[in-house]
A and B are shown apart, each in its own frame.
Chain A
Amino acid sequence: MADDSTVSTTAAPPATSSGPAAGATRTGRPAAGQSAGGRTAHSNLRKRLEIAFFVTPALALLFLFVAWPVVTAVQMSMFRWNGIGPLVDFVGLQNYVRVLSNDVFIGSLVNNLIIIASSIAIQLPLGLAIALLLNRKMWGQGLMRTVIFMPYVLAEVVAGVIWFQLLQPQYGVIDTVLQSVGIDPPPQGWLGDMDLALWTVVVILTWKYIGLAVILFLAGLQGVPDELYEAAQLDGASWWQVQRKITIPLLGPTIRTWAFLSMIGSLQLFDMVWILTRGGPANATSTMAIFLVNEGTNRANFGIAGAASVILFVIALTMAVLYQRLVMRRDTKGGS
């Protein structure tokens, strides 16, 4: 925020380890300089036991519920399995071939990509505009910040159920209001129309998640020194020029980080779509998460679900690494 001395040990793994903060505890460990052999060994053992005591519970949970299921997903993906009995029907990479040549999966993947792109394309300018607006000193500023962030805290389910009711075809409030001003809503409803359903979901996601963008951008704006504004003003720059030439460029790191979070979130999208459309009509709003849950729970195609999980993970990982390499590199290098 205000000062730039932030210890932002960002991503790139090795950089993290040797960040400035890491050095903080390195010095002055009395243990290192303690007297003779036996005692040091004893205190070393004691230290190791302490570390094990503190770290083991967390590591155990992590391995049991995170690492193990992920490994199982990989294993599962190479068998034909309906969830009952042992894994015997080994099919190699056949499940991957079936997933990748499945039109529904490819359609879901494309939908995920559309949602990623449109979320960023819509929320970035809108979020910036609202953040710049809220950054001005004005009456009711605190209230506005609270309100704009509120949908983010609501469960996707709750938001989805409310929007579903608002969007009921014909007698929902949105359709009736539109009709009263002379606009004809689609006859099957916004969520029932093959061409409009996905865009309706995108609009609702924008409503739900714009608050996160605004809050993060506002935090970034706190870091822009006032002197810059004042100097620009003295030079006769207009408000718009100041925002475009000074504020937005300085927000770069925040924007890139937000876009990353937004991207990863969009890749996992499930709850909202499940509530609004179950992926329909005719898979028009399906996502990869919807696909794998359908295959896993409704059809008991665990091998296919496993393969889809692994593919989803590989896509997420690839995007994360590429984004780090191509877009965020200058932030992690400490240039910003």
Chain B
Amino acid sequence: MMVSTTRPPETGSLPVKRRRGSAGKFQGGSPAVYAVAFVVLVATLGPVVYGALGGFRSNFQLADAPAALPNPWIFSNYVGVLTDDAFWRFTLNSVVIAVVTTAIVVVFGVMAAYPLARYTFKGREWLFMVFVAGLLFPATVAVIPLFILITQNLGLGNTWWGIALPQAAFALPITVVILRPFLMALPKELEEASQLDGTSRVGFFWRILLPLSGPGMVTVGVLAFVGSWNAYLLPLLLLRGDMRTLPLGVADFSSEHSSDTAGVFAFTTLAMIPALVFFLAMQKRIVNGLQGAVKG
């Protein structure tokens, strides 16, 4: 497959700024450049900001003057969502599923990547190709048999595990593909030194390799977390009632209260806040992960 391997963060996370000396006229913004930038900014942010502000308006305000600011500001929509038990239950489900998915992906992923990166054995590349081939199977293709497997054969329908395990499985290939070169790049001297000290390979894994591969694990962990947090198709088929996650909650709220536009805006805005906060905190990791997964 085409996903090429990442460089480790030492080089991969070079600051995004370019150090250009005197590129004179290719630099800087003319008013036209700023104007274009402003249009892009508005087009990108517009829908999200409109939704957030819409949550502070009444349905009457929204119908009366769709393109106006809240006047007066109304807080009952947001308060209504925040005091809704269902909202918090959906949030809890989303958090648990995302955390479990991420934990499985990171632990199993780094374990699998370790021998693939630092052991020499027959069939190593073949084993790696198994993971690379896994990239070719998107969850969408297998979703119907997956649904049958989880509900009928494993009895995990409508459970946290029923979502987290398959999500982790589908995230593992990209995780191993990203982590392996990362682990390969750690200097060999470390391993030799620890062997002289009588540390076994397993001991080296726990005591030296794991702490050092922190940044790589954070990157794949963040990607797995975001993927799980946003997932819709598998939860749609498997989760019902109280077990639903936030995306399901958003979609159902929107179709059940389709005439309550302000309520839908409030619900949707609150549902995206965790993702946005997480994104802002982890932006570098997400961007590096994606850029790395493609090519530096």
CB within 8 Å of A: which B58-108 residues: 62-63, 66-67, 104, 107-108
Q: Mark B145-186, 1 if CB is under 8 A from A, else 0.
A: 111110000000000000001101110110010000100110
Question: Counting chain B CB atoms within 10 Å of each CB, which of A59, A66, A219, A260 scores highest?
Answer: A66
Q: Determine the chain A residues whose CB is within 8 A of the CB of B14 once the complex forms.
A: 1-2, 222
Q: How large is the interface on B (under 10, 10 to 19, 20 to 34, 35 or more residues)?
A: 35 or more
CB within 8 Å of A: which B10-40 residues: 11-12, 14, 16, 18-29, 33-34, 36-37, 40
Q: Name the one of A138, A145, A328 contacting B2, with C-beta atoms under 8 angstroms.
A: A328
Q: Determine the chain A residues whose CB is within 8 A of the CB of B7 once the complex forms.
A: 6-7
B129 at the A interface (CB under 8 A): yes
Output the least CB separation between A27 and chain B (Å).
Answer: 8
Are B12 and A137 in contact, CB atoms less than 8 angstroms apart?
no
Are A140 and B104 in contact, CB atoms less than 8 angstroms apart?
no
Are A6 and B272 in contact, CB atoms less than 8 angstroms apart?
no
Are B50 and A173 in contact, CB atoms less than 8 angstroms apart?
yes
Q: Determine the chain A residues whose CB is within 8 A of the CB of B272 once the complex forms.
A: 154-155, 158
How many interface residues does A have (CB within 8 Å)?
128
Q: Mark A57-98, 1 if CB is under 8 A from B, else 0.
A: 111011011111110110010000001000000000000000
Residue of B nearest to A261 (CB): B294
Q: Name the one of A16, A130, A153 contacting B279, with C-beta atoms under 8 angstroms.
A: A153
The secondary structure that dominates the A interface is helix
B215 at the A interface (CB under 8 A): no
Are A270 and B192 in contact, CB atoms less than 8 angstroms apart?
no
Are B172 and A58 in contact, CB atoms less than 8 angstroms apart?
yes
Q: Name the one of B33, B108, B173 contacting A138, with C-beta atoms under 8 angstroms.
A: B33
A322 at the B interface (CB under 8 A): no
CB within 8 Å of B: which A262-319 residues: 264, 268, 270-271, 274-275, 289, 292-293, 296-297, 302, 305-306, 309, 312-313, 316-317
Are B47 and A16 in contact, CB atoms less than 8 angstroms apart?
no
Question: Counting chain A CB atoms within 10 Å of each CB, which of B2, B28, B146, B275 scores highest?
Answer: B2
**CB-CB under 8 A for A73 and B232, given A136-B29, A173-B50, A173-B66:** no
**CB-CB under 8 A for A136 and B128, given A130-B40, A173-B67, A302-B148:** no
In the bound complex, CA of A325 to CA of B248 (Å): 40
B295 at the A interface (CB under 8 A): yes
**CB-CB under 8 A for A138 and B34, given A73-B145, A177-B67:** yes
Output the least CB separation between B253 and chain A (Å).
Answer: 8
Q: Name the one of A66, A76, A171, A239 contacting B170, with C-beta atoms under 8 angstroms.
A: A66
Are A3 and B11 in contact, CB atoms less than 8 angstroms apart?
yes
Are B229 and A155 in contact, CB atoms less than 8 angstroms apart?
yes
Are A297 and B147 in contact, CB atoms less than 8 angstroms apart?
yes
Q: Determine the chain A residues whose CB is within 8 A of the CB of B125 once the complex forms.
A: 16-17, 22
Question: Counting chain B CB atoms within 10 Å of each CB, which of A146, A226, A239 scores highest?
Answer: A226
A29 at the B interface (CB under 8 A): yes
Q: Determine the chain B residues whose CB is within 8 A of the CB of A153 once the complex forms.
A: 226, 275-276, 279, 286
**CB-CB under 8 A for A66 and B142, given A216-B294, A219-B291:** yes
CB within 8 Å of A: which B245-292 residues: 246-248, 250-251, 254, 261, 264-265, 268, 271-272, 275-276, 279-280, 283, 286-287, 290-291
Beyond known contacts A65-B166, A162-B51, A233-B24: 6 more, CB 8 A cutoff: A28-B188, A161-B250, A176-B66, A218-B16, A222-B18, A233-B26
The 6 closest A-B pairs by CB, nearest first: A65-B169, A17-B125, A155-B230, A138-B29, A58-B112, A69-B142
